[in-house]
A and B are shown apart, each in its own frame.
Chain A
Amino acid sequence: MSKIKEAFTNGKAFIPFITCGDPDLETSEKIVYEMEKAGADLIELGIPFSDPTAEGPVIQEASLRALNAGTTTDKIFDMVRRIRKNTDIPMVFMTYANVIYSYGSEKFISTCKELGMDGLILPDIPYEEKGEFIDLCHQYGVDLISLIAPTSEDRISMIASEAEGFIYVVSSLGVTGTRTSITTDIPTLVGKIKESSKVPCAIGFGISNPEQAANMARSADGVIVGSAIVKIIAKYGKDAPAHVGAFVKEMKEAL
């Protein structure tokens, strides 16, 4: 359906996340180009939300910096319009239900199509609530990405059998953020998902270095990295694009 499939055709996929507007939208745009050049296969663009309940401190702070810098949904849409003149790399938005609902669900999702956005990741929309957006997503050809957690257990086949685009496998309990070790039995979890799913699995939450990424990629089709990149942006600000590019290159090569 969407371009997401292409992201998984170049070996194991590397999927970086950034919070749009941190430190400003010009820098976010530059980071997108650097990440593509460095080998990113799919880019997750975070639309900041005031109260991101699934995020750890690193992305919470990035959201706050972005909002304080005056970032809005409309300004992010304008940035994506500029990006789409330069690249057609698969991209998805990561945000919270209220950002879409408040904008007007149809207006938001139809704009995604117009902008060439391929999917939506919404951590506060579980299987039971996907009816909120799924019909509009189908209508406009935008994949609503399903998340599966270590606690999903008997819910896995229900979620996986209806999944679109790719499945976001949450590596650990808790919120986003870098972790020194991931204790979940990932191969078993991914194995169970693969029994019911036709779409690729990408693992996220807590992955921060090439060793972890390589290890996770052994059992999955891709890895998602957010907080480790957002930390680099927090450290270097406007000078971050080159540093993020170098990190993405190192991570992609490790897969």
Chain B
Amino acid sequence: MSEKEGRFGVHGGQYIPETLMNAVIELEQAYNKYKDDPEFNEELQTLFNEYANRPSRLYFAKKMTEDLGGARIYLKREDLNHTGAHKVNNVLGQALLAKKMGKTRLIAETGAGQHGVATATAAALFGMECVVFMGEEDTKRQALNVYRMRLLGAEVIPVKTGTRTLKDAVSEAMREWTSRIEDTHYCLGSVMGPHPFPTIVRDFQAVISREIKSQMLEKEGRLPDIVMACCGGGSNAIGSFYDFIEDKDVRLIGVEAAGRGIDTFETAATINTGRLGIFHGMKSYFCQDEYGQIAPVYSISAGLDYPGIGPEHAWLHDTKRAEYVAITDDEAVNAFEYLSRTEGIIPAIESAHAIAYAMKIAPTLPKDQIIVVTVSGRGDKDCAAIARYRGEDIHE
């Protein structure tokens, strides 16, 4: 972090209504109180290990490596976490913090439904009320996750404004928080929004890179050459990068969703097609038109279908510490099928974007190089949508 608190270069900040200011200040104070508190951290670590199944495996993808014929590929298996994605890391941290703050109700936005499911899970575990906002379009794309959230006791509210996707779910969750602050914590799901969310979410997700580092040293006795992860808002990517930022020899690659291509309007690749702006509480890069109206972005992946990117990624891009590339729907679907057949691992369609980029560059790299790809989630939720993409109609 540079300059003042809550800023990453020019990015970040707290561009929110006055009504919410004391709520984010209270959150920041609570976080500063607990983040280095041994008891809090021990409680969180126990939840990670005993409840969420951490540490997640760092798996050497031997068949994939041999098939691609280049760099050695390791998969960081966040898909094996309880609830099936990396989202649980952040949610357990925030729910525990909310409980310490005396909050009894969690609200959340969700795109693919993974963050909503994780929040509903934590709410069930901690005995808290839970309301999840989900774009109506996404409730259709991810019907299974809607059912899971309701099964876990959460109320799911389909958002019918705007493009009816993730950005509208974030807007609606912010509106709800404005109307009910006293007992409610907004459990934001990515490294975005107003300070202190990008920092809090990053710190809870940083467990991914800490584990990668120690597992890699144990298995290979050295650091990887490349760490890559898919990047929408960017929580699994920042979690995968964070502990390597100071290790300048490790290339960090965020893989955005190109949708139907970055030269089309149907894309969600923010760094590749957006420009600097102010939205959803932060200054960062956004897909927008010439008058600053937020663009209706598109990706096959509901979890990457967001017009912005977290402020720390924007800064890593500005400083050239990380690279941001884009993968199309078609390439991601191919990778989804490839990893399933080659390694017997069905990745989330979000994670398949990172797999697709690994498939592109691994063959071009020498065999002594090591790539770590974070598999941020499991792909069961996507099977029906991918089948539809291939022209097959299956009933869940």
Contact = CB atoms under 8 A, between A and B. Distances in A.
A177 to B, nearest CB: 10
Contacts of B288: 98, 102
A123 interface: yes
Interface in A33-79: 49-51, 53-54, 56-57, 60, 64, 67, 72-74
Nearest to B168: A51
Contacts of A155: 18, 21-22
B292 interface: yes
A128 B291 contact: no
A126 B292 CA distance: 20
Nearest to A49: B293
A109 to B, nearest CB: 14
B162 A51 contact: yes
Interface stretch (B123-131, B173-181, B254-262): B173-181
A64, A149, A154: most-surrounded residue (chain B CB, <10 A): A149
Interface in A117-131: 123-129
A151 B13 CA distance: 20
Interface string B288-303: 1011111000000000
A99 interface: yes
B277 interface: yes
A126 B175 contact: no
Contacts of A251: none
A15 interface: no
Contact of A175 (B168, B175, B277): B175
Interface in A82-106: 96-103
A147 B180 contact: no
B286 A98 contact: yes
Interface in B269-299: 275-281, 286, 288, 290-294
B23 interface: yes
B21 A128 contact: yes
B18 A126 contact: yes
A148 B21 CA distance: 10
Contacts of B22: 151-155
Interface string B197-234: 00000000000000000000000000000000000000
A96 B292 CA distance: 10
A147 B13 contact: no
Interface string A120-145: 00011111110010000000000000
Nearest to B175: A175
A98 B178 contact: no
A175 B161 CA distance: 15
A251 B286 CA distance: 41
B378 to A, nearest CB: 31
Contacts of B286: 98
A237 interface: no
A175 B178 contact: yes
Nearest to B180: A173
5 contacts: A50-B162, A98-B294, A101-B278, A126-B21, A170-B17
